[in-house]
Amino acid sequence: PPKSPPKSPPKSPPNLVKVDAICEISQGLDHDRIVQQNDSAFAVRDAFPVSPRHTLVIPKRHEASFFNLSNAEQHDVLALVNDQHALLQAEFKFADCNIGINDGPSAGQTVGHCHVHIIPRVEGDVTDPRGGVRWVIPDKADYWSS
């Protein structure tokens, strides 16, 4: 039987947000991805959204940890989180949201540039949303049943 041709590697999704891409955006090289910015942070839609309009707020300075940002940078990041939440809520009227930072590899950080996730949620998007971010450690998430 004829051999099938070797499989080519999967193509990267468009607008993949990775460390190099985040730095390129922050340096103005991929400015069209930015949906909002201030002095030291910017917002983009996530390249691998968990829900529609999943948004990332990213400091312009390359820093892996939120806790290594200056007070002014932390303020600007959180100001954009608030602004994006209000804009998304007004436009898309989602029920609630999760916000989160994976700060360090042990916390699940896969991109070595700090970023805050804003994940809009709607009623019924999962069977039982209780516990939210507590599910990062599944054995500890359901504290209400015991």
Short-list 120, 1, 128, CA closest to 50: 120
Residue matched to tokens 């054995």? 139
> Distance (Å, rounded) from C-alpha 31 to C-alpha 29?
6
> Distance (Å, rounded) from C-alpha 53 to C-alpha 44?
9
> Distance (Å, rounded) from C-alpha 94 to C-alpha 117?
15
The residue ranges of DSSP E strands in the chain, in sequence order, are 36-37, 41-45, 55-59, 96-100, 116-121
Q: Is 115 a catalytic residue?
A: yes
Token digits for 122? 């709607």
Helix/strand/coil for 74: helix
Residues carrying an active site annotation: 115
